[in-house]
Amino acid sequence: MGRLTGKVAVITGATSGIGLRTAEIFVAEGAKIVIAGRRVADGEALAKKLGANCVFRQTDVTLEEQMRALIALAVEKFGRLDCLFNNAGGPAQTGGIEGLEVARFDAAMATLVRSVLLGMKHAAPYMKKQGSGSIINNGSIAGRLAGFSSSVVYGAAKAAVIHLTKCVAMELGESGIRVNSISPGAIATGIFGKALGLSVEAAEKTPDVMREVYKTAQPIPRAGLPEDIAQAAVFLASDESGFINGHDLVVDGAITGGRNWTQQQQGYVALRKAFDQGR
């Protein structure tokens, strides 16, 4: 405890999933936070639960004035800004390239990429004045490799986030500001249900199903949890990561590492059997 004592952070998309758990752990580690989300009741309930060190502001992260106001609120309320976690996101249209709708593409890019750009744009002046800060952007393994999302748009957007992170890191690093991304693997949250068209309420009830579905997807025999990403965010927000900049931290239980050992060995056995039968 206390790894973030004295630090002030803004966390977007904090009313559910990864953002919610990150907010809880940041406060437990001593941070003062401003959390953002679209659902007022959920945001206010979380702020009440976390106490005086947490303030909620309803925010549409795709709108520049609202993002500007969100960042300014942290400084007005707590006097500084040490960390921004651009976590807000959502699903994008699924299906092949021929069926994509331009309006839905633009909306997804606004939520997944423009919001990250706006957060960095408006956090940078405050952090430059301090000469320090940590910006964390939520990427995805779908932005690193094809085939890890049901949406080609989502994958493309997350690839943009990862590269945008590196580009801005090269600029802001000269001012003492670190800019990194986290690329989660199969994390049990409601985003999968939302991608399949479930209502927000129904989607938020699906993480237990996801834990079961993804428990064998990677060598570590369980699905990823929001806490896994939250703890990575704590590390990147803390002084422990003071020389890490422009890095995409993959937290995926090695799902992108290659074929699982058991799967590979089973294939080897099957191949030997095929050889024996062919003699």
Cβ atoms of residues 249 and 183 within 8 Å: yes
Active-site residue flag, 126:
no
Cβ atoms of residues 189 and 16 within 8 Å: yes
Token reading at 120: 């960095």
Residue 58 pairs in a beta bridge with 37
d(CA 113, CA 95): 20
Of 126, 154, 214, 268, which one is the catalytic site residue? Answer: 154
Phi-psi region of 275 (alpha: psi -120 to 50; beta: other; left: phi over 0): alpha
The 10 Å CB-count burial string (b at 16+, else e) for 102-112 is: eeebebbbbbb
Cβ within 8 Å of residue 117, ≥6 positions away: 164
User: Nearest 5°: phi and psi at 88?
Assistant: -55, 140
> Which positions are catalytic?
154
